[in-house]
Amino acid sequence: MYFVFMNVCLRSRLTAKSDVYSFGVVLLELLSGRRAVDKSKVGVEQNLVDWAKPYLGDKRRLFRIMDTKLGGQYPQKSAYMAANLALQCLSADAKLRPKMSEVLATLKQIESPKSASKHYPFEQQIQTVHPGKSSTRQQYSPLNLTPRASPLPSHRQSPRVR
Residue ranges of the chain with per-residue pLDDT less than 70: 1-12, 113-162
Instruction: Please give the model's pTM, rounded to 2 decimal places.
Output: 0.63
Mean residue pLDDT of the chain comes to 75
Q: Say if CB 98 and CB 106 are below 8 A apart.
A: yes
Q: How far is CA 68 from the centre of its chain?
A: 16
**In the chain, where the domains are located:** 1-111
CA-closest candidate to residue 51, choices 102, 86, 97, 85 = 86
CA atoms within 13 A on the CB side of 26: 9
CATH class name, domain 1-111: mainly alpha
pLDDT of 117 reads 46
pLDDT in tens, 86-119: 999 999 999 999 999 999 999 999 987 564 445 4
Question: Whole-angstrom Cα distance, residue 39 to residue 46?
Answer: 6
Question: Quick one: pLDDT at residue 71?
Answer: 94
pLDDT confidence of residue 14: 83
Check residue 5 and give its pLDDT: 52
- In the 8-state DSSP scheme, what is residue 60? T
Q: Are 115 and 75 in contact (CB under 8 A)?
A: yes
Q: Taking Cα atoms as reference points, which of 10, 11, 32, 4 lies closest to residue 90?
A: 4
pLDDT at residue 25, as a whole number: 97
